[in-house]
Structure 1
Amino acid sequence: MFSGTLKIDVLLGEVHSLKQKRALVKPVLADLNRRPGVGAAEVALQDLHRRAVIGVAVVAGTHHRVIELLDDCEGAVSWRPELEVLSVHRRVRSDEDD
């Protein structure tokens, strides 16, 4: 079994309130969470209205599949014009890594 995580730091466009931020981030999280084997949440900077950190976790049977899922999730966030990706941190682990 393999697991992978992404931490995606994004800058939001013309956002002037936390309510507007929620309106942009919520559909992104819903899109990511619809994918099999993927869980996503806003994991940091919840009190800032122009920044968000999206955390993604995936689980799969092979290393290759984890990489595919992480690439897909990163792409799903990167293509959105209302978000500017500032940084992405990726980690892949095996159950034998402990």
Structure 2
Amino acid sequence: MYTGTAVFDLLLPGDSRSLKAKRSYVRPIVAALRKFEVSAAEVGALDLHGRAQIAVAVVASETEHVSTVLDSCERLIAGRPEIELLSVRRRLHGADD
């Protein structure tokens, strides 16, 4: 069994100055990520306007599947024209970790 995580650091548009506006960008992204059958949530930069961190976690029996799912999640986020993907941090854990 392998688990993989990815944390996406996002720059949101300038009109996301309120928390309500920020949620209007984050919620659809998290909902779209869940179609890959992963756990997804906003995990950081909660009090910063214009910034967000979204994390994704996946469990699979093979490392290739974990990598494929995380790649798909990254493409989905990077393909959204209204946000800028600043960085991605990935980790893979195996049974021996």
TM-score, with normalisation over the residues of structure 1? 0.93
Query: What CA RMSD, in Å, does the superposition of the two structures yield over aligned residues?
Result: 0.9
1:49 to partner: Cα distance: 1.9
1:33 to partner: Cα distance: 1.5
After superposing the two structures, state which structure 1 stretch, 63-72 or 13-22, moved more: 13-22
**Matches for 1:54-93 after TM superposition, within 5 Å:** 54-93=54-93
Gaps of 5+ in 1: none
SS of corresponding position for 2:30 = helix
CA distance in 2, matches of 1:24, 1:67: 25
Residues matched between the structures, number = 96
Equivalent position of 1:10 in the other structure: 10
Q: Which aligned segments of 4 or more residues in structure 1 are displaced greater than 4 angstroms? A: none
CA distance in 1, matches of 2:8, 2:94: 21
Equivalent position of 1:21 in the other structure: 22
- Deviations 1:38-86, CA, capped at 9 Å, x for gaps: 1100001111120000111011110000000000011111100111011
Equivalent position of 1:52 in the other structure: 52
